[in-house]
Amino acid sequence: MTTLEKVENAPAERKANPLKSFITGGFGGICNVLSGHPLDTIKVRLQTMPRPAPGEKPMYSGTLDCATKTIRNEGFRGLYKGMSAPLTGVAPIFAMCFAGYALGKRLQQRGEDSKLTYPQIFVAGSFSGLFSTFIMAPGERIKVLLQTQGTGPGGEKKYTGMIDCAGKLYKEGGLRSVFKGSCATMLRAKL
């Protein structure tokens, strides 16, 4: 049997199951956070380390130095600081992302079977980014604050965890403080 015959005789493709997609997407997102968060912590620390005074060495000389110093000073768990926020937000972010994309498609479709153009798919994807920003922006803000606390010259630890951080941000500046950086997060999510 040739490849063409196999393709022609293949069973019809099933419709996508949104619930299965949601569950597998959420599981994939959780695996992504678990495996990628240590690198994200290192990236954030390198980006936010204080500028050294003239003649002084920087806090970290690079990626491996940052990882080594983090593990030496805080243990292996130091690489996972701030992970609770992105881990908690993965399933809702994917749900909002999928809902926004579906709404973006639905608003542009003329009929039940109408096919979208590439620009229309782009607009639907933009809805996806818009919707997911409402969860992603506060999660990113909390994650970065937890990742960077205690790493500066004073080494002060201000927050005990995700909920404590969110509560203190709200008390200090209301919702504006919790959602600080939302515009940049939305632009990143849409592109």
Closest to 59 (Cα-Cα) out of 150, 152, 157, 154: 152
pLDDT category, 189, cuts 50, 70, 90? low
Residues 33, 91 contacting (CB under 8 angstroms): no
CATH superfamily of 20-190: Mitochondrial carrier domain (1.50.40.10)
Q: Which two tokens stand for residue 113?
A: 């079977």
CA distance 61 to 7: 54
| Tokens 């920003």 sit on residue | 133
32-57 pLDDT, tens digit per residue, is 889 999 999 999 999 999 999 999 99
Domain ranges in the chain are 20-190
Determine the pLDDT at residue 7: 41
Give me the mean pLDDT over the 159-181 stretch.
Answer: 91
pLDDT category, 154, cuts 50, 70, 90? low
Closest to 177 (Cα-Cα) out of 168, 164, 188: 168
49-89 pLDDT, tens digit per residue, is 999 999 999 999 999 999 999 999 999 999 999 888 788 87
| Tokens 């690079």 sit on residue | 62
pTM of this prediction? 0.59
Give the distance from CA 9 to its chain's centroid. Answer: 41
Determine the pLDDT at residue 40: 92
| Contacts of residue 130, Cβ cutoff 8 Å, sequence gap at least 6 | 100, 186, 189, 190
Determine the pLDDT at residue 1: 57
92-136 pLDDT, tens digit per residue, is 787 777 777 778 887 887 766 677 889 988 888 888 788 788 888
Type of residue at 20: K
CA distance 188 to 76: 30
Q: In angstroms, what CA-CA distances link 177 with 134, 167, 174?
A: 14, 10, 6
